[in-house]
Amino acid sequence: MKAVRNIDFSVEKGEMVAFIGPNGAGKSTTIKMMTGILYPTKGSINVLGFDPTKNRRKLAYEIGTVFGQKEQLWTHLTPYDNFKFFGAIYDIPDYAVEKKIEELKELFELGDFINIPVRNLSLGQRIRCEIVASLIHEPKILFLDEPTIGLDPVVKENIRSLIKRMNKEYKTTVFLTSHDVGDIEKLCSRVIIINNGQVVLDDSMENLKYHYLNKKIVEAKMREKVNLEDEDGITILKDKGYNLKIEVDTEKRTVADALKLLNPDNIIDINISNVPLEDIISSIYRKGDKS
Amino acid sequence: MRKYLYIYKSEIMSNLQYVSNILFGFIGYFILLFVFFNLWKYLYSDPNELIHGYSMEQTIWYVIVTEILWGTVGGRKLCQKISNDVKGGNIAYNMNKPYDYVGYSLFNHLGIATIKGIIYIILGFLLGILFLRMVPSHTIITILLVLLSSIMATIISCFLIITIGLFSFLIEDSNPLYWVYSKLILILGTLFPIEFFPKIVQPILTYSPIYAVAYGPAKLFVNFSWDVCLQVFITQMIYITIGYILCKFIYNRGVKKLNVNGG
């Protein structure tokens, strides 16, 4: 069984790319091939000038990895000791590690807990330390696999802004895998969607939104019942008599057309919103499944 | 090398909090030595008698030292860890770090082995002195050589156990292999010196890893001689080389066939 087929893409220095897809799409396989863990049966990979299958060890010095579901820190040691450990692993002299720890401590706001054993940290604090540990050797590419999994919304937001800051500060290329649309939307300027082992979309976040956000959701609370039926460009999603939810395809009809059908005098309350990015991505996944 | 020393140091720092757990493990060691002390006391009807060239004190010290070595290695955990790394796909996360997995596993395990070794040596010697009221005579040089030989024995044990664990690349479960290995070491290496076995078996045992991981250091401790010392060190160096090559061979073949799903 082939996990991936004919995948072809390149990433620019400093880019933040979301590499997403449903479970079993081939994301992990691709990342593992890019980091030299798995060997492709055909084709070629070039990461920072290295062939990962031949130069895995050399490439390891240039990349960092954070797996939200896999701890790489020593839980009985403090973050500080862990960072020193990672410094040694990457053959960085002591004075340089100290300097880097100081710098990253400020950037990732670790001052309050850098000397507390990792096992006593909250998940959010631990993830921050995981990211810092993966940056000690100043990698050119950072692979982030579900970095915000299990975190509450406030902590997620905090982690995202820290990653953004890190990208701005060090120009580190970020290759992100996540099922969290918030991560993708807020961090990445480009999205690569993979399904059934093939790239089904490779576009900028802006284009994705422009092309796919051509549908508006209109939710209205009515004074009197309205009998509407699907028309070209207007789809009834929910009709509970006084409460209506319709989807307007703005390439075919305007929102104003839809409002006219409802009769503005009959509307008590109304909400017009974009189709959530999550739904857009799901529909792309489904298209990929059909093809 | 600095990175491996850091791995070693980090493992020691991590495990210092579990010294009490290690002390609990010592209960079994105490019981075993107590049984053997009484057994050999019964078998040696005359305290000055020699069996296969060993006095009663030497035989019991032999068991004390081999049990210290075996307890220090704690092979079951090491084998399980390697096997779980292979089967659970954890090995993949080690592969994108700039170190050698075999070296990482060795130095990682030597960290806990060092803590165990120190405790086992102190408690083993206390028990030996308590039971036997004597210690084989040594100079500082000879005792350092015994210690060095014990460290090499531990490294060889680790390599052999890592090799067994890495067999998980080829077979579903390597634990039965470890079980066979541990029983062979127990029966042929820990409880009796090689001289106690039939003459026909002795050459086989002398060339087997048992000589390097158990008999060698224990023999040097109970009856040090420069001839044996040289032979033990040569054997141990050969086995360290063989052990490392074996680990690397199986690892390199295994990772090429690695199939990590999900995650």
**CATH number of the domain bearing residue A59:** 3.40.50.300
Residue B69, pLDDT > 90, answer yes
Residue by residue, DSSP assigns B53-115 as: TB-HHHHHHHHHHHHHHHHHH-HHHHHHHHHHHHHHSTHHHHHTSSS-HHHHHHHHHHHHHHH
Q: Is A90 on the interface with B (CB under 8 A)?
A: yes
**Which CATH number is A270's domain given?**
3.30.70
**pLDDT of B263:** 47
Angle (CA) B232-B118-B2 rounded to 5° is 80
- Where chain A has pLDDT below 50, the residues are none
More confident residue, B73 or B18: B73
Same domain, yes or no: A198 and A94? yes
A182-204 confidence digits (pLDDT tens):
888 888 999 998 888 888 888 88
Same domain, yes or no: A42 and A166? yes
**pLDDT of B221:** 96
Positive/negative CA dihedral, A68, A73, A78, A81: negative
Same domain, yes or no: A144 and A264? no
Please tell me which residue of chain A has the smallest CA distance to B11. Answer: A74
Count structural domains, chain A: 2
Same domain, yes or no: A128 and A218? no
Nearest to B3 among A36, A69, A91 (CB): A91
Residue B130, pLDDT > 50, answer yes
Please tell me which residue of chain B has the smallest CA distance to A143. Answer: B96
Q: Are B221 and B136 in contact (CB under 8 A)?
A: yes
**pLDDT of B215:** 94
Residue B1, pLDDT > 70, answer yes
Among the candidates A186, A209, A232, a domain finishes at A209
Residue by residue, DSSP assigns B172-203 as: S--HHHHHHHHHHHIIIIISS-GGGS-TTTHH
Which domain, by its residues, includes A239? 214-274
Q: What average pLDDT does the structure give for chain B?
A: 89
**A258 to A95, A230, A236, A246: CA distances (angstroms):** 66, 11, 11, 9
Provide the token pair at A267.
């509307």
Domain-wise residue ranges, chain B:
2-256
Of the candidate ranges B25-29, B72-76, B113-117, the one whose mean pLDDT is the lowest: B25-29
Same domain, yes or no: A145 and A201? yes
Q: Is B96 on the interface with A (CB under 8 A)?
A: yes
Same domain, yes or no: A234 and A269? yes
Q: How far is B85 from chain A (nearest CA, A)?
A: 13
**pLDDT of B259:** 63
Residue type, position B186, single letter: L
Whether residue A288 is contained in a domain is answered as no
B137-155 confidence digits (pLDDT tens):
899 999 999 999 999 999 9
Same domain, yes or no: A202 and A64? yes
Among the candidates A180, A209, A238, a domain finishes at A209
Whether residue A42 is contained in a domain is answered as yes
Whether residue A41 is contained in a domain is answered as yes
Nearest to A36 among B2, B14, B96 (CB): B96
Same domain, yes or no: A73 and A172? yes
Nearest alpha-carbon partner for B94 in B218, B260, B262, B209: B260
Whether residue A9 is contained in a domain is answered as no
Whether residue A150 is contained in a domain is answered as yes
Nearest alpha-carbon partner for A145 in B7, B260, B85: B260
Residue B164, pLDDT > 90, answer yes
Mutate to test the interface with A, among B2, B9, B10 (most CBs of A within 10 A): B10
B168-227 confidence digits (pLDDT tens):
988 878 889 999 999 999 889 888 899 999 999 999 999 999 999 999 999 999 999 999
**pLDDT of B16:** 81
Q: Are B177 and B164 in contact (CB under 8 A)?
A: yes
Chain centroid offset of residue B39 CA: 24
Same domain, yes or no: A138 and A256? no
CA–CA distance, A169 with A163 (Å, rounded to integer): 10
Whether residue A11 is contained in a domain is answered as no
Residues of B in contact with A88 (CB under 8 A): 2-3, 5-6
More confident residue, B65 or B260: B65
Which residue shows structure tokens 């207007």?
Answer: A234
Q: Are B173 and B254 in contact (CB under 8 A)?
A: no
